[in-house]
Amino acid sequence: MINALYEPFPEDIESDGITYPIVTDFREWFCFADMLADQELSQEEKIYLMTEWLTEPPEKITSELVNAIFGFYRADRLKPDPPEDDEDEESDEQEQPKRPPVFDWKYDAAFIIGDFRRYYGIDLRSVKYMHWWEFRCLFAALPDDSQCQKRIDIRSTDLSKIKDNDRRNKIAAMQRQIALPFEMDEDDIAAIFEG
């Protein structure tokens, strides 16, 4: 974990003992997310295209390189290392079916732009440069009353835990209104019905 207050944000990633300079502007990582979400691209095409975010092409694409690129995208080094006990919990999480997303950079773009202008005075459309990790820090720090946080809260609300029928119906209606596109595969659907 790095301390974002004084340690510089990375300009490169390391994989297989090689250091690769990487594109760092936040706009480029929105393009990366769009590429990952593109249903017309195969998994192999996406893995190949990931290397476009490196400023020098790699000699070969390895799983370690792919993980390093994803680690940069997720800003893993900004997060505390998980305790060692959480390994069992992680394996349990992997067995659960996929859940609908609670936020999407593309579909929620207008709210990101509005919140950054409202809370930080930053016009994301005209700012010359911002490191992806700085953007991630600012995004994570948006207050609970921001439109982005409200959307996340509504989408992530578990309706089964709401006792009041009127409140549950109101939140369900809001969830339908701001739902993001999401498709489940057959295994995920089966897992839900199996309990």
**Over the stretch 153-181, which tens digit does the pLDDT of each residue have?**
999 999 989 999 999 999 999 998 998 87
- Residue 123 Cα to chain centre, angstroms: 21
Q: Which helix (H) or strand (E) holds 149?
A: helix 147-156
The whole-number pLDDT of residue 95 equals 59
Calculate helix-pair angle for 43-50, 26-37, nearest 10 degrees. Answer: 170
| pLDDT grade for 192, boundaries at 50, 70 and 90 | very low
Q: Are β-strands 18-21 and 12-15 bridged in parallel, bridged antiparallel, or unpaired?
A: antiparallel
**CA gap 174, 155 in Å, rounded:** 8
Please return the burial class of 133, using the count of CB atoms within 10 Å of its CB with bins 0-12, 13-18 and 19+: buried
Q: Look at the pTM and tell me if it is higher than 0.75.
A: yes
